[in-house]
Amino acid sequence: MALQETKTSKKGYAGRKPKGKTVYAHMGIWRDGENIHITAPKEKYLHTTVNSNPGSERCHKNLYGKLRRLLEENGCWE
C-alpha cells in the first residue's frame, strides 16, 4: 500500500469551513495493551497514544471508543 501525502482541503469540510482549513492525512492506528497508538507516517512528528483510563494524561474515552470501534470493524482488535 502506497502512503498518501498529507493534503489540505480545497472546499473545506462539507463546504462549511474556509478552503484549506481541513487536513487529510494517511494515518496508522493500532492497539498495544490498554493504549491505542495514532501515527501519520509521512509526518515524522506525529505519534501519540490515547486510552480510557480515568486520571491518565492520555485519557480520552470518546476518541478511544471511536478508534476501538474502527479497529474492531476492521478485524484489528484482539
| pLDDT tens, residue by residue, 46-78 | 899 999 999 999 999 999 999 999 999 999 997
Residue 12 is assigned to a structural domain of this protein: no
Domain region containing 56? 17-73
Residue 3 is assigned to a structural domain of this protein: no
Q: How far is CA 29 from CA 43, 55, 77, in A?
A: 14, 23, 11
Q: For the chain, what is the domain count? A: 1
Tell me the C-alpha distance between 1 and 59, whole Å.
31
Residue 59 is assigned to a structural domain of this protein: yes
Residue with cell 509521512: 42
Residue with cell 484489528: 76
Main-chain phi, psi angles of 63, to 5 degrees: -65, -40
- Is the predicted pLDDT of residue 3 greater than 90, yes or no? no
Residue 11 is assigned to a structural domain of this protein: no
Residue 7 is assigned to a structural domain of this protein: no
Please check whether residue 21 is in contact with residue 11, taking contact to mean a CB–CB distance below 8 angstroms: no
Residue 24 is assigned to a structural domain of this protein: yes
Residue 2 is assigned to a structural domain of this protein: no
